[in-house]
Structures are given as structure tokens and as C-alpha cells.
Amino acid sequence: SQQNTFVGANAGNFTTTGSYNFASGYQALYSNTEGWLNTASGTVALYSNTTGGVNTASGCAALYYNTTASSNTAMGVGALFFNCYNVPTGCTAHNNTASGYEALHNNTTGQNNTALGRSSGYYNSTGSNNTFIGFSAGPDGGPVDLTNATAIGAYAVLSQSNTLILGVTGDNAIN
């Protein structure tokens, strides 16, 4: 490994050939072996990452279960927590952006998703190409596999793919 910086007990603990990584916090990037260009800041941020690269995790347990997926950004406690959960190799959960406490929390293999706001996209599991903006915006209950769905506004809830919801669900929503 080369050009890595690890600050905190067991940060970057198993890095062997991974390069250009930065980890700050207790066990941040703990399982990393070959991952490259990762930034982990916070207790157990990117904890399970082994070979994934170009990921940014900021907040306690952000991107915790990410193993091999790349190009994800998680900002907030538990954001993208289950990314790659039970998918130790070949995980396709790439290009996700989650900002907010537990945003995209249950995403496992979904890709190209954007979630902004506390618990936005919380129940998205395998869905891809979705946008969730606002407090608890996104699928209602999980796990959910929506594609090309957009929910904007606090509590804006979706239940089908290729749908746009603007505002709260019900008679006051714009579909």
C-alpha cells in the first residue's frame, strides 16, 4: 500500500495494496485490503470495504457494509449502511449519493440513486436510478425495488416505478 493516511485505533487495519486512502476514526476503513481513493471519516465508516474504490463516507457507520462497490458518497450517521450487505464480491451498488441521517439506509444493490434528507430513500433496497429529496421521502416500507422514481418533499411516498411525487402523499400530492 502507498500514500495512505490512517488516524484512529484500527483505522485501515488490513490495507495491503490499497492506495491513496484516508481514514479517520475508530475502525474506519477497517477491512480495506485493496480499495483505492476512499475517504472514511467517523467511527466504523466504510468498515467492511475490501476492494471498493472512490467512496466517501462521513459519519458513524456510513457505508458500513460496503465491500466492493465504488463511487458512492454517504454523508450522515448510517447513510448507505447496508450497501452491499450479504454481497461480498461483485456488488453492483455503485454511484449512489446519500446525505442525511440514515439516507438510503437499506440500499443493498441499488445503483445510481440520490437521497437528500434524513431517512430519505430509507426503504430502497435494490431499486436504481431513483431520486428522493426531503425528510423521509421515498418508498413506504421495504424492501423496495423501484426504478426511475422521484419523490420530492417531506414524507413524499412512492409505491411504483417511473413515478414522480411532489409533496405529501394523498389528495395534496402532485403526480
DSSP run (H or E) holding 40:
strand 39-41
pLDDT in tens, 47-77: 999 999 999 999 999 999 999 999 999 999 9
Instruction: Tell me the C-alpha distance between 62 and 45, whole Å.
Output: 5
Instruction: Count CA atoms closer than 13 A to 8's CA, side-chain side.
Output: 18
**Percent of the chain beyond pLDDT 70?**
95
85-128: pLDDT as tens digits: 998 788 999 999 999 999 999 999 999 999 999 999 999 999 99
Which tops the pLDDT comparison, 170 or 24? 24
Sequence-ordered strand ranges (E) for 46-168: 56-58, 73-75, 97-99, 114-116, 131-133, 138-139, 150-152, 157-158, 164-166
- What count of Cα atoms within 13 Å lies in the side-chain half-sphere of residue 138? 37
Q: Is this prediction's pTM over 0.85?
A: yes
- Position 171 scores a pLDDT of 59
Q: What is the pLDDT of residues 123-138, one digit of tens each?
A: 999 999 999 999 999 9
